[in-house]
Chain A
Amino acid sequence: MNHALASRHSWFEASARTRLAGLLDAGSFREILPPAESQPSPHLAQLDLPGAFDDGVIVGGGRLSGQSVLVAAQEGQFMGGAVGEIHGAKIVGLLRRAVKEKPAAVLFLIDSGGVRLHEANAGLIAISEIMRAVLEARAAGVPVIALVGGSCGAFGGMGIVAKLCSAILMSEEGRLALSGPEVIETVAGVEEFDAKDRALVWRVTGGKHRYLMGDCAALLEDDIAAFRNGAAEFLAAWHEPEPGLACLRARQSVLEKRLAAYASYRDGLQVWAALGIAQPETVPMLDRDSLVALKEGLPT
């Protein structure tokens, strides 16, 4: 086996706790509301379903390359990382703490299909509270960095939350969108979108497509060390901008142009061709460094 591959520790396959342990400076993580002090979801218990002690999200503080950061990590293996009432309250509490403590950043390890539908309105409210809390942390000058590379990606309400963050750092394995593939197929039919076509799903929502479209700030290898280095490098170069209307209007205009240019396309392949990539069919097999080089060579 390739040595570089053998020494890699996949972010995609790791649990949320393993990701945190490898992301932060060794031994620096301090959990807020650890499993022994937290409580499982009362909603799941009412539905006769087993909960998790931490309700599927780990929050706390630690250091990234010596800098003080707050972190929230969703566990995608528990109910698809879905946001319930306690899960959401832990994230909101962490973001509000960031407004007071002013850490160098909040690192948000997103791995979630969105709202936990079992908890209905409580889950929906939790998502909207997270959205507001992300914006309040950013308005207080604290960058909120989304790290997306887990098996559940960032979908539904958590897709919106990810886009509200200061920046998204993503691996090829990560996915980002609003409605998930199965949702689109269920609502609009298999002719609209075939959720079983995994390659298509990644060509439309995957990390490479998001990077080519400029939806994420960096494309990282599926490696815990690559996420650690990527987050530290991004943070060192990032200054959280003052919120402003002009910036939002400029962004809106970019999105309108993008919609006009690509709305009729059915597949990432068509979009990549329109971006000026001569052989779009080769993109899915490119390694990370080659794809970054390809994007840097594209006309802007």
Chain B
Amino acid sequence: METLDFRFTSTPAPRASDPALCGVVGSGNLEILVQPGAEPATCVLTIKTSARGFGDTWRAVLGDFAASHPAGGTVIAINDMGATPAVVTLRLAQALAEYRGGAQ
């Protein structure tokens, strides 16, 4: 297992009252927990992943996410069991939508 920490500048997201969880820690999948954070224009991420050595890929995928979505003011924790970048991107968008009270 490898633990990775990232911080990205991101457009502030409206502060939600409840944390949001989506996904499952199953093969090729991951779970994402989005909670409110202290810094309005920063997205703070911690990843625990079963696949070692993919830090650069995570940085690229998460950086794209923070640049293209209003994820500022969130703390995001991820438990990963070998999800591909496409799955990670879709789950992040889903988790943020649920956090913001968005559509199912």
Report if B49 contacts A (CB, 8 A): yes
- Interface contact B19-A52, CB-CB below 8 Å: no
Chain B residues closer than 8 Å to A53, beta-carbon distance: 21, 31, 33, 77, 79
C-alpha gap A19/B35 in the complex (Å): 24
- Interface contact A78-B48, CB-CB below 8 Å: no
Take A35-B19, A35-B33, A36-B19 as given contacts and tell me if A50 and B24 are in contact as well, using a CB distance cutoff of 8 Å: no
- Interface contact A50-B19, CB-CB below 8 Å: no
CB-defined interface of A28-61 with B at 8 Å, one 1/0 digit per residue?
0000001110001000010011111100000000
- Interface contact B19-A78, CB-CB below 8 Å: no
Report if A77 contacts B (CB, 8 A): yes
A-B contact count (CB 8 A): 47
Report if A222 contacts B (CB, 8 A): no
- Interface contact B26-A49, CB-CB below 8 Å: no
Report if B45 contacts A (CB, 8 A): no
Mostly, the A contact residues are: loop
Q: Shortest beta-carbon distance, A55 to chain B, in Å?
A: 10
Report if A68 contacts B (CB, 8 A): no
C-alpha gap A51/B79 in the complex (Å): 7
- Interface contact B1-A78, CB-CB below 8 Å: no
Chain A residues closer than 8 Å to B41, beta-carbon distance: none
C-alpha gap A62/B19 in the complex (Å): 19
- Interface contact B79-A52, CB-CB below 8 Å: yes
- Interface contact A77-B35, CB-CB below 8 Å: no
Q: Shortest beta-carbon distance, B33 to chain A, in Å?
A: 5
- Interface contact B29-A77, CB-CB below 8 Å: yes
Q: Shortest beta-carbon distance, A186 to chain B, in Å?
A: 21
C-alpha gap A50/B1 in the complex (Å): 7
Interface size class of B (residues with CB under 8 A): 10 to 19
Q: What are 12 pairs between A and B in contact, CB < 8 Å?
A: A15-B24, A35-B31, A36-B33, A48-B1, A50-B48, A50-B50, A50-B81, A51-B25, A52-B24, A52-B25, A75-B24, A78-B26
Residues B1-60 near A (CB distance < 8 A): 1, 19, 21, 24-27, 29, 31, 33, 35, 48-50
Take A75-B24, A78-B24 as given contacts and tell me if A50 and B33 are in contact as well, using a CB distance cutoff of 8 Å: no
- Interface contact B35-A50, CB-CB below 8 Å: no
C-alpha gap A52/B19 in the complex (Å): 15
CB nearest neighbor in A for B81: A50
- Interface contact A52-B31, CB-CB below 8 Å: yes
- Cβ-closest 8 pairs across A and B: A77-B26, A36-B19, A52-B25, A48-B1, A77-B24, A50-B48, A50-B79, A35-B21
Q: Shortest beta-carbon distance, A87 to chain B, in Å?
A: 13
Q: Shortest beta-carbon distance, A8 to chain B, in Å?
A: 18
- Interface contact B21-A50, CB-CB below 8 Å: no
Q: Shortest beta-carbon distance, B3 to chain A, in Å?
A: 9
C-alpha gap A88/B58 in the complex (Å): 33
